[in-house]
Structure 1
Amino acid sequence: MPIENIPEIYFEDSKVNPDVFVYDFKMNNNVVKSKVNLSMHMFSFLQVGKKQVHFADTAVAVNKNQSLLLKKGNWLWTELLDTDAIYYCKLLFFSETKLSEFYNKHVNNLKPSKNEVGYFVIENDSYIMSYLNSLATINEAPAIFKYNLLSVKFEELMLYLINKYGSKFELFLQSLISKQISPFKKVIENNVYSNLKLEEIAFLCHMSLSTFKRHFINEYKTSPGKWLQDKRLLKAKEILKEGQLKASDIYLDFGYNNLSNFSIAFKNKFGFNPSEIPS
């Protein structure tokens, strides 16, 4: 699957890299785990549909009642239609420069942030809905006037979110400014029980699959495929032993495309079928 460079693919002029940029994204089909290289921090104001994102060692899902502020970097995005035949979200991008300007102007003397989560969930309210309507009118303005208005609107939004979420939001902003990337092992071990494939985990580590495998073997002294399979099957066995769920309920959650493959791997590991698990 190709990597999408966002927001660059949305720029009308590839030579222009604005510090703040808004784009209306629409589609009429589901897209599952597309690879995205996000070069700017981004607000995603979902208006119709559902969205799930994976970043390094974390994942989050939202619907139209929530919005997201996403840290720049490599993401896996799943975007799903809801009852309507269209998916629609308004995207607001901003640069490190724009963030630093705002932070230095409005945020005072915080302790260093230890936050490593790549997203901040925003609960949509009447202000957010009014704000989105105001962004829609700006889109029709001439280029330089539009940029100046967007700069003001960006500052307005950030001030509102600081007022609404307080130090929690301020600390998240501070974490966006830091250049730290989640450690390799933290990314791996926080995706052990996900349904992500090796290639997708490698992408979240900012590595090619071959580089990822080399790093993994150096760190864990075994191949990533075997290590992940063993961990996931052991967890699946624990869940099945509780008796609340069947193999058909959980095989997708552990990265298997069908029940048959899961059952074969399970029997090869433990010597009996998932349906025969001892109580």
Structure 2
Amino acid sequence: MPIENIPEIYIKNDQKKSDLFMYDFKMTSDVVKSKVNLGMNMFSFLQVGKKQVHFAGTTVAVNKDQSLLLKKGNWLWTELLDTETIYYCKLFFFSAKKLKGFLENHTKNSKIAKEETPYFIIRNDSYISSYLNSLSTINEAPSVFADNLLSVKFEELMLYFLQKHGRKFELFLHSLIIEETSSFKKIVESKIHSNLKLEEIAFLCNMSLSTFKRHFIKEYKTSPGKWLKDKRLQKVKETLELGNLKPSDIYLDFGYNNLSNFSIAFKNKFGINPSEITS
């Protein structure tokens, strides 16, 4: 899966990269999974469909009733159609320079606690709906006029969320301009129970697959494939012992493409078939 540099891939050759950029993203495929190098912080106003994103040590999923503010960095994201229609998402990118200017003008210069979460979930309301409608006309305006309008609309949006979410949103905005390097172990161990592939976890660690494997063996004294397989199968066993789910309900969630391979791996580790587990 190639890495997509966003918003660069959306910028036309005759456009200069600016501190604010808006893009209407649409698709008709059932599912699109992408490795994304997000070069600017970004509002993702989801209007039709569902979205799931992984970033370093965390995962978040939203539907069309919610939107996201995402921190720049390496993300894995999956976009899914909600019904037989197009997936539609309005993306609004802003630079660290633009954010710093806003914070200097509208927030206190007090010491800010470090915020660990790289995303902020926004529940869509009537204001968001009317705001997005007002953005739709900007792309049709002359470029100089459009730039000035976007600047005004950015400040309007930020002030609205500050008023609505208060200190929580303010802390999050400050966290976006703090350079943070998540620890290798934190990222790896947060993905034990996901169905991500090794190369996807390596991407979230900002490493090539070969560098990731070397680093992993040095840290854990075993190969990442074996370690993750053992951890995930242990979690499978614990899940089945609760008695609420069957093997056929969960094998995909733990990275297996079919029930047969899942059952063989489980029996090799525990000596019994997963269907024999009872609460």
The TM-score bracket by the shorter chain reads: over 0.9
Partners of 2:80 and 2:207 lie apart in 1 by: 27
Partner of 1:30: 30
Matches within 5 A, 1:223-262: 223-262=223-262
Partner of 1:8: 8
Larger mean CA deviation between 30-39 and 190-199 belongs to: 30-39
Say if 1:194 and 1:254, in contact at 8 Å, map to a contact too: yes
Partner of 2:79: 79
The alignment status of 1:146 with 2:146, answered yes or no, reads yes
User: Structure 1 length as normaliser, TM-score?
Assistant: 0.97
CA offset at residue 94 of structure 1? 0.4
Partner of 2:156: 156
Partners of 2:88 and 2:137 lie apart in 1 by: 17
Partners of 1:139 and 1:238 lie apart in 2 by: 52
Partner of 1:43: 43
Say if 1:113 and 1:172, in contact at 8 Å, map to a contact too: no
User: Structure 2 length as normaliser, TM-score?
Assistant: 0.97
Aligned-partner residue type, residue 245 of structure 2: L
Partner of 2:267: 267
Equivalences, count: 279
What are the Cα deviations for residues 68-91 of structure 1, in whole angstroms up to 9, with x where unaligned? 001111111111111242011110
CA offset at residue 278 of structure 1? 5.7
Gaps of 5+ in 1: none
Partner of 1:196: 196
What are the Cα deviations for residues 150-191 of structure 1, in whole angstroms up to 9, with x where unaligned? 011101100100100001001111111001121111111111
Partner of 1:107: 107
Partners of 2:190 and 2:130 lie apart in 1 by: 37
Gaps of 5+ in 2: none
SS in 1 for 2:256: coil
SS in 1 for 2:136: helix
CA-based RMSD of the aligned residues comes to 1.2
SS in 1 for 2:140: coil
| Aligned CA distance change for structure 1 residues 133 and 77 (closer, same or farther; 3 Å) | same
The alignment status of 1:88 with 2:88, answered yes or no, reads yes
Partners of 1:147 and 1:117 lie apart in 2 by: 30
The alignment status of 1:65 with 2:65, answered yes or no, reads yes
SS in 2 for 1:177: coil
SS in 2 for 1:18: coil
CA offset at residue 31 of structure 1? 3.1
Say if 1:48 and 1:89, in contact at 8 Å, map to a contact too: yes
Say if 1:116 and 1:182, in contact at 8 Å, map to a contact too: no
Partner of 2:124: 124
Aligned-partner residue type, residue 75 of structure 2: W
CA offset at residue 277 of structure 1? 2.6
Aligned-partner residue type, residue 100 of structure 1: K
CA offset at residue 212 of structure 1? 0.6
Partners of 1:244 and 1:230 lie apart in 2 by: 22
Partner of 2:208: 208
Say if 1:110 and 1:171, in contact at 8 Å, map to a contact too: no
Say if 1:48 and 1:84, in contact at 8 Å, map to a contact too: no
SS in 1 for 2:88: strand
Partners of 1:181 and 1:246 lie apart in 2 by: 39
CA offset at residue 119 of structure 1? 0.7
SS in 1 for 2:196: coil
Partners of 1:194 and 1:104 lie apart in 2 by: 39
Runs of 4+ in 1 over 6 A off after TM superposition: none
Aligned-partner residue type, residue 25 of structure 2: F
Partners of 1:199 and 1:116 lie apart in 2 by: 24
Say if 1:25 and 1:89, in contact at 8 Å, map to a contact too: yes
Larger mean CA deviation between 163-172 and 8-17 belongs to: 8-17
